[in-house]
Amino acid sequence: EDKVVQSPLSLVVHEGDTVTLNCSYEVTNFRSLLWYKQEKKAPTFLFMLTSSGIEKKSGRLSSILDKKELSSILNITATQTGDSAIYLCAVTGGFKTIFGAGTRLFVKA
Amino acid sequence: EPEVTQTPSHQVTQMGQEVILRCVPISNHLYFYWYRQILGQKVEFLVSFYNNEISEKSEIFDDQFSVERPDGSNFTLKIRSTKLEDSAMYFCASIPLASGRPYEQYFGPGTRLTVT
């Protein structure tokens, strides 16, 4: 059965800390791994990763995929209170997308 | 910037009633998805749709569910006889091409369905 597992499930940090969120997957016909940020409603897109070892970067966020280990990490440096959200990892296999349960990040001022 | 829209934003219905959730994908997008998210739980894939056909569906997407693209813009999810456990946020998403190449999915704002 296809599955996506994220860890930790929740995390509380102070502003300025660096965090690393983990995602591991077992999905047949892998096409891509996506990271989303979910605050109040719909997930908003952060990154899409298809190739191993190539880091994607956007401001303080970065992500990398390891297809050998079937995993990905999302790093957030110099966290801010506005980073507080649920971070979702999703893997597209075939014509479906499987989401992990998410990591709930809370950044304290 | 073009975006996926969904209506209504919130629908309350009684158990056993039929509901239709509507989505307008981004205009040049060809591949569509429906997801649901029960409160406090993870986003679950329901169905993917291309060229007026279902491409893939999950075990959640049983005979009570159907999808349709009734015209060139709308994409609908119908639940024939709602159950209490259908209460969830339903998200529509779309991608630009249907070639199977990986693309980020653009999510709509969601419809919150409450079944009483």
**Position with higher pLDDT, B5 vs B97:** B5
Shortest alpha-carbon distance between residue A28 and chain B (Å): 13
Give the nearest partner residue to B91 out of A42, A92, A98, using CB atoms. Answer: A42
Distance, in Å, from the CA atom of A31 to the CA atom of B63, rounded to the nearest integer, reads 28
Contacts of B10 in chain A (CB under 8 A): none
> Residues A22-57: pLDDT tens digits?
999 999 989 899 999 999 888 999 999 998 988 999
pLDDT more than 90, % of chain B: 70
Give the position of tokens 């969904």: B6
Between the two ends of chain B, the Cα-to-Cα distance in Å is 37
Q: Which residues of A touch B55 (CB under 8 A)?
A: 95
Say yes or no to pLDDT of A78 above 80. yes
DSSP for chain A, please give it: --EEEEE-SEEEEETT--EEEEEEEE-TTEEEEEEEEESSSS-EEEEEE-STTPPEEETTEEEEEETTTTEEEEEE-S--GGG-EEEEEEEEETTEEEE---EEEEEE-
pLDDT of residue A71: 97
Q: Which residue has the higher pLDDT, B101 or B50?
A: B50
Rg of chain B in Å (alpha carbons): 13
With 90 as the cut, is the pLDDT of residue B3 above it?
no
**Among residues 59-78 of chain B, which lie with CB inside 8 Å of chain A?**
none
- Residue numbers in B near A90 (CB within 8 A): 43
Average pLDDT of the segment spanning A82-90: 97
- What is the pLDDT, as a whole number, of residue B29? 84
Distance in angstroms (rounded) separating the CA atoms of residues A15 and B39: 28
What pLDDT score was predicted for residue B100?
52
Residue B26 has pLDDT above 60, yes or no: yes
**Can you give the pLDDT at residue B97?**
67
Q: CB-based contact (8 Å) between B7 and chain A?
A: no
Strands A71-76 and A19-26: antiparallel
* Residues B91, A107: Cα–Cα separation, whole Å: 27
Task: Give B82 to chain A, closest Cα distance, Å.
Answer: 22
User: Which pair of structure tokens corresponds to residue B97?
Assistant: 């091409």
Provide, as residue numbers in chain A, all residues whose Cβ is less than 8 Å from the Cβ of B35: 97, 99
Q: What is the mean pLDDT of residues B40-54?
A: 91
Cβ separation A43–B44 shorter than 8 A = no
Q: Which residues of B touch A44 (CB under 8 A)?
A: 107
